[in-house]
Amino acid sequence: MDWFVEYYNGCGLTIKVRRKIYEVSGVQKIEIYETESFGKMLVIDGKIQLTEFDEAIYHEMLVHVPMLSHTHPKKVAIIGGGDGGALREVLKHDVDRAVLVDIDRNVIDLCRKYVGIDERAFDDERVEVVISDGKEFLANCERFDVVIVDSTDPVGVSDTLFDKEFFEFAAKKCDVFCCQSQSPLVQKEYFKILIENSRVFEKRRVYTSCIPTYPLALWSFIIAGNFDFDRLEERFERLRGKTKHYNPEVHRAAFALPEWLKKEVE
């Protein structure tokens, strides 16, 4: 029995692991563990990406908030998200097409084989997988109803998903945009860059959720574009499949920001 530790800003999260299931170094260093209490865990370049214990909170808040803030999303792009958790949630909506764009095929293949949180989403005939840098894809793609960014921290291959040009492409290519925007407590520098770059959208808002295995648990998201929170209950009723965490009350409550965070956003 061993311990996995992720360090950030002078502290760290320690998780007891039973065994390492797989490790490979390619585009990114990918490790998959079986943990003592949190189920399987995906780690990329030393950072926890998901555990089975709390991934539903993250993926449901990342996906259902933008999807249900759009009147009728039919065409959706997920940038990153190779583990398939966001894709699984997108397919609960009445979409015609879901394109998942990830730079690293290993994440998709290994998560399908050893983690399985996609629940066979990749086999769905509405799904198309593109192996590419997300920014390059957005520069040249057709328009989508919703674009969702499920990226790693902005170091290494994912830094393109955090720059201004990426947001400029996104603003032209979708009605509703949503990205995870890191920890506003211990990753302020990343959070500020995303807030700044999201100014290319006229309308945008920050929301938060508690994801226990992400740095200090408080996690942030940015929704932008032509979104509204009208008829959330009616839209939620139409969802195929249940949610573990998301509901319209949680959706609205997630936008209530404490004073210190309002200041950061302003």
Active-site residue numbers? 150
Count of chain residues binding ligand SAM (CB under 6 A): 23
Alpha carbon distance 50, 242 (integer Å)? 20
Shortest Å, Cβ 10 to ligand SAM: 20
Q: Is 80 in the site for ligand SAM (CB under 6 A)?
A: yes
Note whether 65 and 91 are within 8 A (CB).
no
Q: Is 220 in the site for ligand SAM (CB under 6 A)?
A: no
Bridging pattern class, strands 174-180 and 144-150: parallel
Q: Is 140 exposed, middle or buried (0-12, 13-18, 19+ CB in 10 A)?
A: exposed
Shortest Å, Cβ 161 to ligand SAM: 5
Identity of residue 193: I
The crossing angle, in degrees rounded to 10, of helices 188-197 and 164-173 is 50
Per CB under 6 A, contacts with ligand SAM among 126-185 are: 133-134, 150-152, 157-158, 160-161, 180
Per CB under 6 A, contacts with ligand SAM among 29-58 are: 49, 58
Residue 201 vs 219, nearer CB to ligand SAM: 219
* Token pair recorded at residue 148: 């969702």
Stretch of residues binding ligand SAM (CB under 6 A), selected from 31-39, 77-85, 231-239, 249-257: 77-85
Contacts of 101 (CB under 8 A, 6+ apart): 77, 78, 79, 80, 130, 131, 132, 134, 137
Shortest Å, Cβ 194 to ligand SAM: 12
List of residues contacting ligand SAM (CB under 6 A): 28, 49, 58, 79-83, 101-104, 107, 133-134, 150-152, 157-158, 160-161, 180
